Amino acid sequence: MYSIGLTGNIASGKSSAIQCFQSLGVDVISADVIARELTAPNQPALFAIRQQFGEAFILPSGELNRSALRQLIFKQPEQRAWLERLLHPKIQDEIKEQVMRSNGPYCVVEIPLLHNRKAYPFLNRILVILAEREQQIERVMARDHCDRAHAEAILATQPDDQARRDLADDLIINTGSRTQLQTQIKKLHANYLHLAAENES
């Protein structure tokens, strides 16, 4: 299956891009969705998280307290590294399985924490979406209902734009309207259909 890795920093417009691809009938696989499934109640990963972090990170319903966990790993990079070591190999395996089961000429794989190609050698191309810093700050403040200082602190933990650019085969600078983003996605879609057909021949 011809596959496109989709990545970009927080509040760059990845979710809007995913919706555009889905509206075109493209299968989209999300690392975040898989992570949520892996940490659902009664899953082994959730038991490991409970042992590592304690009951304060489990809600009365038995679900993961994602808000508390986000706050912890934001403040403690070593705990973030532990969580990534737990989840990333499982996420990678599930992504590979879903790519193999995907229907259609190509699929898009959203991986926010895509830092290099080594963990995902089956990706044929990587699409990076970036936005202007001020736009990202405004979007994070609106989404998380937080102040500017907190939004800036979140952005400070993200890879720099140049590292993202270095990874990209295709690049969208999402500074315009949703209609403009849709236009760019449609152009990429036509190209990906062509590349996927060439790959099969």
Res 159: pLDDT: 82
116 and 92 belong to one structural domain: no
Read off the pLDDT band of 71 (50, 70, 90): confident
Residue 110 scores a pLDDT above 90: yes
- pTM, two decimals, is 0.90
Are 18 and 108 in contact, with CB atoms under 8 Å apart? yes
Which positions ≥6 away from 16 have C-beta within 8 Å? 174, 178, 181
**pLDDT higher at 139 or 185:** 185
Read off the pLDDT band of 150 (50, 70, 90): confident
The phi-psi region of residue 25 (left if phi > 0; otherwise alpha if psi is between -120 and 50; otherwise beta) is left
Residue 102 scores a pLDDT above 80: yes
Note the pLDDT tens digit of each residue in 36-47: 999 999 999 999
Q: Where are the alpha helices (DSSP H) in the chain?
A: 14-23, 31-38, 44-53, 66-75, 77-101, 133-144, 148-156, 161-167, 178-200
Res 6: pLDDT: 98
45 and 130 belong to one structural domain: no
Are 110 and 18 in contact, with CB atoms under 8 Å apart? yes
HSE-up (13 A, CA, CB side) for residue 126: 21
Read off the pLDDT band of 91 (50, 70, 90): very high
18 and 44 belong to one structural domain: no
One-letter identity of residue 101: R
Residue 180 domain boundaries = 1-26+104-201
Note the pLDDT tens digit of each residue in 170-194: 999 999 899 999 999 999 999 999 9
Torsion of CA 129, 36, 114, 148, to 10 degrees: 50
Cα separation, 186 vs 24, in Å, equals: 8
112 and 159 belong to one structural domain: yes
Q: What SS3 class is residue 165?
A: helix
Res 26: pLDDT: 97
Q: What SS3 class is residue 109?
A: strand
Number of domains in the chain: 2
37 and 22 belong to one structural domain: no
9 and 70 belong to one structural domain: no
Res 155: pLDDT: 86
Instruction: Please report, for the domain that includes residue 1, its CATH number.
Output: 3.40.50.300
